[in-house]
Chain A
Amino acid sequence: EAGVVQSPRYKIIEKKQPVAFWCNPISGHNTLYWYLQNLGQGPELLIRYENEEAVDDSQLPKDRFSAERLKGVDSTLKIQPAELGDSAVYLCASSKNNAGGASNEQFFGPGTRLTVL
């Protein structure tokens, strides 16, 4: 079974340019997460989707970040315009959550390492 797929793996851009990251979760996983991981830190949740609905985007900087999961499968995270401080690893994860919000395992992709110059 394929794991969570992310692309690109690496991206280098100039500041003020736009950038987009793509994630394809594990087949059948209804919940999708985007995390931000700064160097030397643990991942921090940006947004969580249940199917195509964003149910927690409280940590997403909405002035420059946007995300979508139009058909409840793959997802795109966009930054426009990028700033120097956005340099980090962007992780996607998915899980198959049952009703009741049990602690179902999240499966992580390899991440996209963004460098903003």
Chain B
Amino acid sequence: GNSVTQMEGPVTLSEEAFLTINCTYTATGYPSLFWYVQYPGEGLQLLLKATKADDKGSNKGFEATYRKETTSFHLEKGSVQVSDSAVYFCALFTGGGNKLTFGTGTQLKVEL
């Protein structure tokens, strides 16, 4: 079956530090890949997505590249801010099941 594995948190960084949150997946077929962000007390929001191999999704300074050869979709940001503190979820979507499969989430804490 489909599955997503994320690095465990919490990840604690100083403001302006470089961020990487690792995500690998197992899926049949050719999934679309997503990063969702969940701020405290709020619902999940789509951060970025990539629908095919070598695509790069980007938004708000975050980037992730769909790597089929390593089945990975790592999230990166060059300079994090305190306002980026949230829980980040990697997810995949396959048309056959028509549903999202989420990782367990990685909590990011950014300190001044």
Q: Which residues of A contact B (CB under 8 A)?
A: 3-4, 33, 40-45, 48, 55-56, 91, 93, 97, 100-103, 105-111
Q: Which residues of B contact A (CB under 8 A)?
A: 4, 32, 36, 41-46, 49, 51, 89, 91, 93, 95-100, 102-105
Give the chain A neighbours of B89 by CB distance below 8 A. Answer: 42-43
Given the interface contacts A101-B98, A103-B51, does A109 sit within 8 Å of B104 by beta carbon? no
A42 engages B43 (CB within 8 Å)? no
Q: What would 14 more interface pairs be, CB under 8 Å, given A42-B102, A43-B102, A103-B51?
A: A4-B43, A42-B105, A45-B99, A45-B100, A91-B43, A91-B44, A97-B98, A101-B95, A101-B98, A105-B49, A107-B46, A108-B43, A110-B41, A110-B43
A111 engages B43 (CB within 8 Å)? yes
B99 engages A48 (CB within 8 Å)? yes
- B105, closest chain A residue (CB): A42
Given the interface contacts A48-B98, A109-B43, A110-B42, does A40 sit within 8 Å of B51 by beta carbon? no
- The 10 A-B pairs of least Cβ separation, nearest first, read A42-B102, A108-B43, A103-B32, A101-B95, A108-B44, A103-B93, A110-B43, A45-B99, A101-B98, A109-B43
Give the chain B neighbours of A108 by CB distance below 8 A. Answer: 36, 43-45
Give the chain B neighbours of A40 by CB distance below 8 A. Answer: 104-105
Q: How far is the CA of A106 from the CA of B51 in the complex (A)?
A: 15
Q: How far is the CA of A107 from the CA of B42 in the complex (A)?
A: 12
Q: How far is the CA of A56 from the CA of B96 in the complex (A)?
A: 12
Give the chain A neighbours of B91 by CB distance below 8 A. Answer: 42
Q: How far is the CA of A103 from the CA of B99 in the complex (A)?
A: 9
Give the chain B neighbours of A4 by CB distance below 8 A. Answer: 43
- A38, closest chain B residue (CB): B104
Give the chain A neighbours of B41 by CB distance below 8 A. Answer: 110
A105 engages B46 (CB within 8 Å)? yes
- A55, closest chain B residue (CB): B98
Partner of A103, one of B45, B49, B104: B49
Given the interface contacts A41-B105, A103-B51, does A56 sit within 8 Å of B44 by beta carbon? no
